[in-house]
């Protein structure tokens, strides 16, 4: 599902080159749930941003579902991401003027679904993540755990092949964070979607099938 070949990312700051990724080679299988573990500054978020097409690598290839996304034009990449990827962020990134179901249905509306169908799909997935009674609540009316469940529902609503999660429990207390990870694991097993989770918390890796440890822009695989 995911493969990189000699992936490098170099940032330039006032003429000085700072290598963030130093030649990453990895393979992640379809339906696998993988964690990328590393301290702040190790390059894990840069790797996730490159893999997901948010950032462009300086060198190397990124092959997602047999497509080299480094060769795609901006509009092609945007379309590919919308159809194949979902995103879960640390701080939820919900739109405050939309309620839960409106936040979740938005990706479908962007893809051209009619409003009635988009609403039905969004309602069903909110039920799946345990928010049947919170659909009409706005983000400021939700707890942190509930807001992250809405974010997960939004990430999954288009049935993406890959879900990227950047510190998905970072803004939550320990108990709520573990509940969210249990939900993510359950959804991974049920839907056979590929999950790639970036974290600095070793406890999160206990929920994943494989650990990829990062340090100083290099990747070290662990089982």
Q: Which pair of structure tokens corresponds to residue 57?
A: 């690598």
Give CATH for domain 28-57+71-222: 3.40.50.300
Residue 169, pLDDT above cutoff 80:
yes
With a cut of 80, say whether residue 221 has pLDDT above it.
Answer: no
What are the tens digits of pLDDT across the range 61-80?
999 999 999 999 999 999 89
Closest CA to 119 of 133, 132, 106, 134: 106
Q: Check pLDDT > 90 for residue 218.
A: yes
Mean pLDDT of 178-184: 88
- Residue-wise pLDDT tens digits, 122-147: 999 999 888 999 999 999 999 989 99
Q: How confident is the model at residue 13 (pLDDT cuts 50, 70, 90)?
A: confident
Is the pLDDT assigned to residue 223 strictly greater than 80? no
* Burial state string for 187-216 with b = 16 or more CB within 10 A and e = fewer than 16: bbeeeebbbbbbbeeeebbebbeebbbbee
The model's confidence at residue 222, banded by pLDDT at 50, 70 and 90, is low
Statement: residue 28 has pLDDT above 90? yes
Query: How much is the mean pLDDT over the chain?
Result: 91
Share above pLDDT 90 across residues of the chain, in percent, rounded to a whole number: 70
Q: Where are the domains of the chain?
A: 28-57+71-222
Q: Give the predicted TM-score (pTM) of the model.
A: 0.89
Other Cβ atoms within 10 Å of 153 Cβ, number = 27
Percent above pLDDT 70 for the chain:
99
pLDDT band at 44 (very low <50, low <70, confident <90, very high): very high
């Amino acid at each position: 599902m995911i493969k990189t070949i000699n992936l490098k990312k170099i940032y330039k700051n006032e003429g000085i080159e700072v290598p963030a990724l130093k030649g990453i080679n990895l393979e992640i299988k379809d339906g696998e749930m993988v964690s990328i573990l590393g301290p702040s500054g190790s390059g894990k978020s840069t790797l996730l941003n490159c893999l997901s097409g948010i950032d462009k690598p300086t060198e190397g290839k990124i092959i997602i579902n047999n497509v080299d996304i480094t060769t795609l034009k901006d509009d092609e990449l945007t379309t590919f991401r919308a159809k194949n990827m979902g995103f879960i962020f640390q701080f939820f990134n919900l739109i405050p003027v939309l309620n839960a179901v409106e936040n979740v249905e938005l990706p479908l509306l962007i893809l051209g679904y009619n409003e009635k169908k988009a609403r039905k799909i969004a309602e069903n997935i909110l039920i799946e993540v345990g928010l049947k009674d919170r659909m009409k609540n706005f983000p400021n009316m939700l707890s942190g755990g509930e807001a992250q469940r809405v974010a997960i529902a939004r990430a999954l609503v288009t049935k993406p092949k890959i879900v990227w999660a950047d510190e998905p429990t970072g803004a939550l207390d320990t108990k709520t964070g573990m509940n969210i990870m249990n939900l993510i694991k359950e959804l991974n097993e049920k839907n056979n979607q590929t999950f790639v989770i970036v974290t600095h918390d070793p406890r999160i890796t206990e929920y994943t099938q494989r650990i990829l440890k990062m340090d100083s822009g290099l990747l070290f695989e662990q089982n």
